[in-house]
Amino acid sequence: MKPAPFEYIAPESLEEALEALRQNIPDARLLAGGQSLMPLLNLRLIKPKIIIDLNRISGLNSIKEVSGRLSIGATTRQSSLERSQLVRERCPILAEATKHIGHAAIRHRGTIGGSLVHADPAAELPAVALALDAKLEVIRDGLSRAIPAEEFFIDYLTTALGPEEILRAVFFPVLRPSTGYAVEELTRRHGDFAIAGVATAVDLDGEAKIAGARIALFGVAPTAVRARRAEAALKGQKPEADVIRYAATLLDDALDPPSDIHASGAYRKHVAAVLTVRALERAFQVCQKRGA
Amino acid sequence: MAGKRAIEMTINGKRCEGIVEPRLSLADFLRDHLGLTGTHLGCEQGVCGSCTVLFNGETIRSCLLLAVQADGAAILTVEGLAAMAGSGEGLHLIQQGFLEALGFQCGFCTPGFLMTTYELLNENPSPPEEEIRERLSGNLCRCTGYQNIVAAVLWAARRLREHLDR
């Protein structure tokens, strides 16, 4: 239960980190919060030759509002998301989602960037990024590119991040004050990985009809997935119980949940539909309350 | 063998040094290099919470932090609890609470519960039972069924409030 030996460097600038990464492909691993990487090392499931610790790079952990978007640095701790006044005011769904992640001791170290790059299909933050069409800014060699969340999550624990690239920041849209939102998940115990979960953000128009609904499911496919058919069915409708229940029946096509010791695939699918109804009902309540 | 490096940190208020391999966890540094064996290692993969310590004032899993990452940090371990204000008979009131309420049986998980409780009661001196259970959900105990642990935290919270009022 001890990691295999590795070299360790803790660069103080992103440029240094990128250079170290470039020189050590494919033997290097980037260390952010370490809440997923360290177990993999301890269990010797991975044996990198060099660990590049990003925690001493300054400026990589700031939360800022920049022209209508929230820019969140990759090494921002999950506990900072939870506490940030700016996040609570401008993108409160992030703070709500973060509460579901592990436990306080995990969130004190775990980072938003680590969670997104690790891309566990049962994780909350990738689902929120997907639901809100967040953009992930990755950098390599002085070049940066912004990858839409939709294109970032490719498969189980697999993202579009290139071997020479480092995630620098994530951009989330600022939610309108009237936007309703909810994150629901089912776990055996608080902090466990979700058996299934859903993150949703909804808007109503002037006639109290649904102007738009964004729904992302997690724990039920190799990546988080958008429930596009359900979103389309909600648009233009009144947010009434039968409309919501009908939308939740449209999840099926997108889902291929795995069966494991915790739940069968069929059960996960059922739970995803139940949670979608709950999340939408609560999101519309929030919407009506915030809009009033 | 990957190059060793010199580190120093403040542990329970005392400056400590060591020369360690990068792969050494903070937990192993505390236990094997410094003899601070109060911090226990259960799963070594961040699940059980036994190795919980405070790192710059916040609870972390010391099995998931490299000792080299703690270079320059301030660490509080269970050994540091007993020496703090609020102690009686050589124990911190939180430890006293676990004794009074029979909040442990084998005691293996207890150091982690104590450190988690310490942080909880610093943040909220009067947590309701639900909050206690949620906060302690990151620490596993295979003996007690948790009932007495929750009672221990409630006992400690009450006594700490009385202690502060005096």
DSSP state of A143: E
Q: Is the pLDDT of residue B90 over 90?
A: no
Of the CA atoms within 13 Å of residue A153, those in its CB half-sphere come to 31
Q: Is the pLDDT of residue A77 over 60?
A: yes
For an interface test with A, which of B24, B61, B132, B140 has the most A Cβ atoms less than 10 Å from its Cβ?
Answer: B61
Q: Is the pLDDT of residue B2 over 90?
A: no
Cβ count near A204 (within 10 Å): 20
**Number of A:B CB contacts under 8 A?**
91
CA A71 from centroid of its chain's CA atoms: 14
pLDDT at B140: 97
Q: Is the pLDDT of residue B1 over 80?
A: no
What is the pLDDT averaged over residues B53-82?
97
Helix (H) or strand (E) holding A78: helix A78-83
ipTM at complex level: 0.95
pLDDT at B87: 54
pLDDT at A220: 94
Q: Which of A35, A51, A190 sits opposite B134 (nearest CB)?
A: A190
CB-based contact B66:B27 (threshold 8 Å): no
pLDDT at B48: 97
| Alpha-carbon gap, residue B96 to B8, rounded angstroms | 32
Question: Strands A180-186, A143-148: parallel, antiparallel or unpaired by DSSP?
Answer: unpaired
Residue A127 in tokens: 């689902």
Distances from the Cα of B123 to the Cαs of A63, A76, B58, B155, B156, in angstroms? 23, 21, 11, 16, 14
pLDDT at A255: 86
| B85 band by pLDDT with thresholds 50, 70 and 90 | low
Q: Is the pLDDT of residue A227 over 70?
A: yes
- What pLDDT digit, counting tens, does each position of B28-55 carry? 999 999 999 999 999 999 999 999 999 9
Answer with the residue of higher pLDDT: A288 or A25.
A25
DSSP state of B136: G
Residue ranges and CATH numbers for the domains of chain B are 5-80 (3.10.20.30), 82-165 (1.10.150.120)
Residue B19 at interface with chain A, using a CB cutoff of 8 Å? no
Q: Is the pLDDT of residue A202 over 80?
A: yes
Q: What pTM did the predictor assign?
A: 0.95
Q: Is the pLDDT of residue A40 over 60?
A: yes
CB-based contact B88:B51 (threshold 8 Å): no
Q: How far is B46 from chain A (nearest CA, A)?
A: 7
Cβ pair B137:A190 closer than 8 A: yes
Of all residues in chain B, the one with the smallest CA distance to A4 is B23
Q: Is the pLDDT of residue A124 over 90?
A: yes
Residue A8 at interface with chain B, using a CB cutoff of 8 Å? yes
Q: Is the pLDDT of residue A256 over 90?
A: no
pLDDT at B89: 63
Residue ranges and CATH numbers for the domains of chain A are 7-53 (3.30.43.10), 63-173 (3.30.465.10), 180-291 (3.30.390.50)
The answer to whether the Cα torsion of A88, A92, A96, A99 is positive or negative is negative
What is the pLDDT averaged over residues A239-245?
97
Lowest mean pLDDT across A21-30, A102-111, A251-260: A251-260
Q: How far is B121 from chain A (nearest CA, A)?
A: 13
Q: Is the pLDDT of residue B88 over 60?
A: no
Distances from the Cα of B128 to the Cαs of B133, B153, B154, B159, in angstroms? 9, 10, 8, 15
Q: Which of A6, A102, A103 sits opposite B2 (nearest CB)?
A: A6
pLDDT at B83: 82
